[in-house]
Structure 1
């Protein structure tokens, strides 16, 4: 009873300070997005006259130039395909591995979990040379399967560790009841565990998508041909060559930010549920 009273009192007294603080945080996020979008819709000459003012001329020429001249449209499709395939494979493998480590007496599962945590602590740039040499021997350099293989391998340790912790929160009684009713491994996993862990899966999917979508180093090294590169390396190259044409660069930034923002907007409810569950634990 005392805890409920304290919680109510804190909510009433701290409502406005918390609201103002959240508004400030929101402004620091929304304003850069608004500025980038606004800048992308104006010619460079108009931007140079008044960089922080409203556009005198509204145009979509920057997006047209990126698509027709620099192949950003094709790079966007390639990035979407590579990211989608990578996230799907990572989630599929991590679901099976995480559920097995969470609910089955796997020999040495503590050691396996410790190895996953250790691998997560290794900086990515340290692995560039070994990965490149290994893919060279497999003739997978300059191929999308090779890049996807690298993304899957680097994303799996965190994904398995994350889902192992998430699936441990599924009540054992529910799983045992499903087994008594005759549900096997796949039926229990698909009908009980995955739906109950949907918030954790959504959170992991968003994190993996953002990591692959914004990755630059491996995407540049393993796909050296400019015509075959993904979106982030393509835009990075445009940013280096056209730093004085800020509207063109802003249009590229708006394109690369569009998909993550849409994904976060769709999955925000599940992500908040996952955070609430994590805090309550």
Structure 2
């Protein structure tokens, strides 16, 4: 009896420090978001008087200025279109390749996987000039070239990630589907895809965040300002001698709104997908 009571007390003693640490971690994440939202809803003059206080005047003028002067609405739609197309293509190709490497007798599977890992180790900035010169010679500047870059740079990690995901699916399930007469794509769609849904959802979120926040290729491959994505548009806010933090905060909140909504809806799948390969 005394041992069970002492065990409960010790477990409670361990839980409270963990709970306090998690609360501090949550506060460190929530406060910057709260500060950005509050700052975006106040005039610049009010912000300069008391940057860390509550606004004395609430306004949506910063969002109106972003829409009228910087074309933020058009850039938002452009980013959403390019990001969605790139992520869908990556998911389709990575799902097929990951299933093949995980469950099919592909010659040299280990070498292919090692090649993907080695490509992932190459720093991104090293590829900027070669990729630009290659796309310029092929005439693929603009949205086609940008989507191709996003697919090519995201595919190695995506394939490696889904290979680990699909390896956790029991071989007996796939064999049973084959015995029942399911073909390759039927098995992939009806068996592998539902069982690997958490990993696919996690990968979709990671790929979306990476493409949505990318800046360098979006700047050098798209010259027409009317076709700019969200990140290059936000980079033009203000100038060297102008400090308009509320306007910048409004742009930051618009940029962060889509990832926040996506993470809120996909958080359950992300927690499951991050455990890929742990039990294998």
TM-score band, normalised by shorter chain: over 0.9
Q: Measure how far apart 1:258 and its partner are.
A: 0.3
How far apart in 2 are the matches of 1:164 and 1:146?
27
Q: Tell me the residue number matched to 1:89.
A: 89
How many angstroms apart in 2 are the aligned matches of 1:95 and 1:79? 24
Q: Measure how far apart 1:273 and its partner are.
A: 1.6
Deviates more, 1:271-280 or 1:243-252: 271-280
> Could you say which residue in structure 1 is the equivalent of 2:214?
215
Mind listing any 5+ residue stretches in structure 2 that lack a counterpart? 1-6
Equivalent residue, structure 2, for 1:68: 68
Match runs of 1:187-226 below 5 Å:
187-226=186-225
In structure 2, distance between residues paired with 1:213 and 1:241: 26
Aligned to 1:253: 252
| Residue in 2 that maps onto 1:4 | none
Q: Could you give the per-residue CA deviations for residues 238-276 of structure 1, whole angstroms, max 9, x where no partner exists? A: 155575111000000000000000000010011112234
Answer yes or no: is the 8 Å Cα contact 2:167–2:277 preserved in 1: no
Partner of 1:127: 127
Does the 8 Å CA contact 2:91/2:158 hold for their aligned counterparts? yes
Look up the SS of the partner of 2:237 in the other structure.
helix
Instruction: Please give the root-mean-square deviation of Cα atoms over the aligned residues, in Å.
Output: 1.6
- Distance in 1 of aligned mates of 2:8 and 2:169: 30
Alpha-carbon distance in structure 1 between the residues aligned to 2:72 and 2:50: 27
**Structure 2 residue aligned with 1:3:** none
Q: CA deviation at 1:9?
A: 8.0
TM-score, normalised to structure 1, is 0.94
Q: Which runs of 4+ in 1 moved over 3 A?
A: 7-13, 239-243, 276-281
Matched, 1:42 2:33: no
* Separation in 1, partners of 2:217, 2:246: 27
Aligned residues: 274
| Structure 1 spans left out of the alignment, 5+ residues | 1-6
So what's the TM-score if we normalise by structure 2?
0.94
Whether the aligned pair in 1 keeps the contact of 2:164 and 2:276 (CA below 8 Å) is no
Stretch moving more, 227-236 or 200-209: 227-236
CA distance in 1, matches of 2:56, 2:104: 64
